[in-house]
Structure 1
Amino acid sequence: MVDLPEKKVIELVDDGRIIPIPRQKHNYDTPGLGEPRTTLKPLSIKQPEGPSFNIDGWYVSWQNWIFRVGFTLGDGLVLHQLSWDDGKNVRSIVYRANVTEMCVPIPIRARTTGTTDRYWKVTNPNVKNAVGANLDYKLIVNDSRLMLADERSKVRQRGGFATRHVWVTPFDPAERYASGDYPNQHSGGAGLPRYIEAKRNVENKDLASWHSFDHTHVCKPEDFPIMPVEYAGFMLKPNNVFSANPTMDLPSGRDQSSVEDSKSIDHGCCKL
């Protein structure tokens, strides 16, 4: 353990084990990995009439979706003013959407806890749909655990946002980061745990909804040299927002340029 401001070594742990450094070279190129497989058939994705979206600077329109794309040094990708055009009105869905923090707790004692299958709704009490129900969006949490780090650890104290799946605060432009503005400089408790101490009213207010989701990565040989894709996330579903399924106007039809769709082919094992 090192005290960076004081430039002092606080604690050095030596368990007596001597683990040799791997000597085998692993270069991620053809000489190092070998020749690629030759059994794959070509796959071509064509858009003869161009894409179905338009980009004008930061402004993106994609079918009924309208939003602005931005990037910041702290947040990375940010989506602004995410809206849906229902043909009569442009309906605002999300004012700003981005990932604020990524916390990686590693060699710390963990404990397991069970979680319930729950969902949360964000409701607009001022608007009703055609059947008299309030408009709301349902936040559905996928398989996601809370932080497993020891409560006494610094990563747990500084990453307090990861101890709850959902936080709700009144919208405040100054409150942009779930663990505070300077997560590596505070001793713990900043960010969302501090924001909610004010006990501000959130009923019928512009809200900031915060969702913490995780992926528990247990390393395995298949992750080397490049880790395969692992999915983590959530679903935000409209509930009583539309009068019907808004995608029912998508055209049907077959892609005649697809080999599998336009003619029968004998692959040896089966005939399509």
Structure 2
Amino acid sequence: MTTTEGHVDSTHVGRAAHPLDPISAAEVDAVREALVAAGRIGETTRFASVQLHEPHKREVLEFKEGDAVDRRALVVLLDLAAGDVHEAVVNATAAEVESFHRIPTETHPYGQPAVIMEEFERIDVAVKSDARWQKAVAERGFLDHDKLIILPLAPGYFGFENEKGKRIMRAFTLFREKQTDSPWANPLEGLIAYVDLTAAKVVELFDYGVVPLPSEHGNFREGDWGPSRTDLKPLEIVQPEGPSFRVDGRLVEWQNWKFRVGFDQREGLVLHQLSFRDGDRERPIMYRGSLSEMVVPYADPNPMRFWINYFDIGEYGLGKLTTSLQNGCDCLGEIHYFDAVLADDNGAPYTAKNVVCLHEEDYGVLWKHSELYDDMHDETRRSRRLVISFWTAIGNYDYGFFWYLYQDGTIEYEAKLTGIVFANAQLEGTENPYATQIAPGLVAPFHQHLFNVRLDMTVDGVANTVEESEVVRLPRSDENPFGNAFTVKSTAITSEADAGRMADPLISRTWKVVNPESTNRLGQPASYKLVPHASPVLLAADGASVRDRAAFATKHLWVTQYDPAERYAAGEYPNQHAGGSGIPAFQAADRNLVQEDVVLWHTFGTTHVPRTEDWPIMPVEYAGFTLKPVNFFERNPTLDLPKPTLKNHCAHGATCTCDHDHN
């Protein structure tokens, strides 16, 4: 149903400076109070999510500084006792509930909100209270339950009748002798519990047999594997005159770039209204960029692990699990931090401090030429980039997500993967074709990390067309007698039904977002091209459950027409969803994509075959993509950069030039 209800006094809610500013603590309070006043909050009601309900792009682009704007929140409510789920849109400015409706999670294709923090506690109590579990751990010699950690994990969807429409999690058990031990090195292999979260009880417990704990610890604190090396000299990043960027609230300006920093409890870091100043023009490039979904499917068909395919954004929430950053560890140099206001399970606001880091980095040589015909005259300019990043800790894995802006108009996105590989105990001497042995009695299954970024593009405006470009080898002919010729072929992607595309590095395939109405002085249309870092897409077999649920991960690129309701590549509720939501549903409309407001959905990632070097903690693995201007500028936009100055960059009196990357 749609109503306006639950008015409360909202005089304490201040007006936001901009319609895309992240939700404030006062607004979260107003949202909760409005729902309480409307009688929508019971004793067992919990707030699964509270997100800024962003206005339509058209309204935001028409916004002028000083305009009044009503701020709204999208709220998902979960009743712990009944399992009911409701969505509400609440006007935080007026403190009133504008709409309220039930989500039918009990009927096909099902789906559930993300796990909330209280449920981690409920599942711990449910498992440890189960007599079957108590008997199983006792048989393994574990009597002190305080040393056992219950690890709850989203179950996926496999059509099991006793799970359809119910809120389910699966639970492993880990052992930790003391607080400082890494529990990930000591799984109780063979034991898994299926838990009904609404009933707060174990509905099934499977015991596939006892496997001894691995014989070696998996700790990684300083000194755990011997004394620290002593030959590292200090490395300092200094900017004695301060950084070159300017920050006004959530608005950032750096060099010719301008953008707004957002943060969402589901997506984490969001960039809004990214533009580049070109002479006296402010040229829009991307309206909104965010990580829309990710999936981590595992390759081991063992009954303990066949179901593992985490959708970390929709099942847990990157923003809710964000970590506070520390200067000197996570970021170096002159740092500006952004906080995030989030809502807890009871709808109360809290501030996560220093979750987004903004800083500059030297990035080597930007361009250089030593002129042979001018007494070796040398011109060099160094590259500098602006970094906007955040980190999130999801169980064993830690992910960092980084936007890089370069002075030549290039945009780069990078995911950094580290933390601890999810390992399982195995009898020594056993061969496992789906895993790597990483320590005595311990193996790590093969798996993938596949990310999908939603890129809401506005290249010089909202009327854009996406073209697929690739190089074409030409055969020898009268026109190509020596066989050296190749050319470039560009094909417009005209409709959504044909807009699922695969990367191909062998023909240098890229995708250009073109504005045919904006041309440079040579008559070439302005564009930005997406350069994929090609890697395998989803490797699960046709017919596998995860392919239905993560259809976005079966192609490198999808293109859709803008719709503010289409936000996530796997749909609103991927947790326990039967599939078909998100990209497949968006594509079904088969809307026109020629000179339209287009959104790119880019899937990238890494296929992880673990190594012994990944244990006990994994060095960072990288994945990402690049957006580059193509005929967007009249010429190299960095010709106005000054020559670098040399000041104290070379130690011990050595002769130094500005080309050295260590400067």
Provide the TM-score with structure 2 as the length reference: 0.37
Aligned counterpart in structure 1 of residue 249 of structure 2, from 36, 51, 57: 57
1:207 aligns with 2:598: yes
- The CA distance in 1 between the partners of 2:207 and 2:630, in whole Å, is 54
Tell me what 1:264 maps to: 654
* 3-state SS of paired residue (2:620): coil
Tell me what 2:616 maps to: 225
Contact 1:69 1:80 in 2 (8 A): yes
1:2-151 correspondence runs (5 A): 3-4=162-163, 5=166, 7=196, 9=204, 14=208, 19-107=211-299, 116-117=504-505, 118-151=509-542
Tell me what 1:180 maps to: 571
Q: Give the root-mean-square deviation of aligned CA atoms.
A: 2.4
Contact 1:129 1:135 in 2 (8 A): yes
Tell me what 2:556 maps to: 165
- The CA distance in 2 between the partners of 1:245 and 1:197, in whole Å, is 41
Letter in structure 2 aligned against 1:116: D
- The CA distance in 2 between the partners of 1:47 and 1:205, in whole Å, is 44
Contact 1:151 1:157 in 2 (8 A): no
Question: CA offset at residue 255 of structure 1?
Answer: 2.9
Segment of structure 1 superposing worse, 114-123 or 62-71: 114-123
* 3-state SS of paired residue (2:246): strand
Question: CA offset at residue 125 of structure 1?
Answer: 1.6
Go from structure 1 to structure 2 and tell me whether the alpha carbon gap of 1:179 and 1:22 turns closer, same or farther (over 3 Å shift): same
- The CA distance in 1 between the partners of 2:571 and 2:246, in whole Å, is 36
Question: CA offset at residue 245 of structure 1?
Answer: 1.1
Letter in structure 2 aligned against 1:22: P
Contact 2:569 2:583 in 1 (8 A): yes
Percent of residue pairs identical: 48
Tell me what 1:194 maps to: 585
Tell me what 1:251 maps to: 642
Question: CA offset at residue 34 of structure 1?
Answer: 2.8
* 3-state SS of paired residue (2:571): coil
- The CA distance in 2 between the partners of 1:222 and 1:143, in whole Å, is 24
* 3-state SS of paired residue (1:99): strand
Question: CA offset at residue 248 of structure 1?
Answer: 2.1
- The CA distance in 2 between the partners of 1:232 and 1:146, in whole Å, is 13
The CA deviation string for residues 100-137 of structure 1, in whole angstroms up to 9 with x for no partner, is: 11100103579xxx962211111112111110111111
Contact 1:115 1:145 in 2 (8 A): no
Contact 2:251 2:261 in 1 (8 A): yes
- The CA distance in 2 between the partners of 1:31 and 1:139, in whole Å, is 44
Contact 2:540 2:546 in 1 (8 A): yes
* 3-state SS of paired residue (1:132): coil
Aligned counterpart in structure 1 of residue 632 of structure 2, from 241, 246, 249: 241
- The CA distance in 2 between the partners of 1:234 and 1:31, in whole Å, is 37
Contact 1:75 1:99 in 2 (8 A): yes
- The CA distance in 1 between the partners of 2:640 and 2:576, in whole Å, is 52
- The CA distance in 2 between the partners of 1:199 and 1:251, in whole Å, is 49
The CA deviation string for residues 123-180 of structure 1, in whole angstroms up to 9 with x for no partner, is: 1121111101111111111132111012222222100001111111111110000000
Contact 1:75 1:100 in 2 (8 A): yes
Contact 2:503 2:534 in 1 (8 A): no
Unpaired stretches in structure 2, ≥5 consecutive residues: 1-157, 169-195, 197-202, 302-433, 435-501, 656-663
Question: CA offset at residue 53 of structure 1?
Answer: 0.8
- The CA distance in 1 between the partners of 2:644 and 2:632, in whole Å, is 28
- The CA distance in 2 between the partners of 1:108 and 1:222, in whole Å, is 21
Question: CA offset at residue 227 of structure 1?
Answer: 1.1
Provide the TM-score with structure 1 as the length reference: 0.87
Contact 1:108 1:149 in 2 (8 A): no
Contact 1:26 1:32 in 2 (8 A): no
Unpaired stretches in structure 1, ≥5 consecutive residues: 266-272
Go from structure 1 to structure 2 and tell me whether the alpha carbon gap of 1:115 and 1:75 turns closer, same or farther (over 3 Å shift): closer
The CA deviation string for residues 15-57 of structure 1, in whole angstroms up to 9 with x for no partner, is: x7x6422143333322423322111121121101001111122
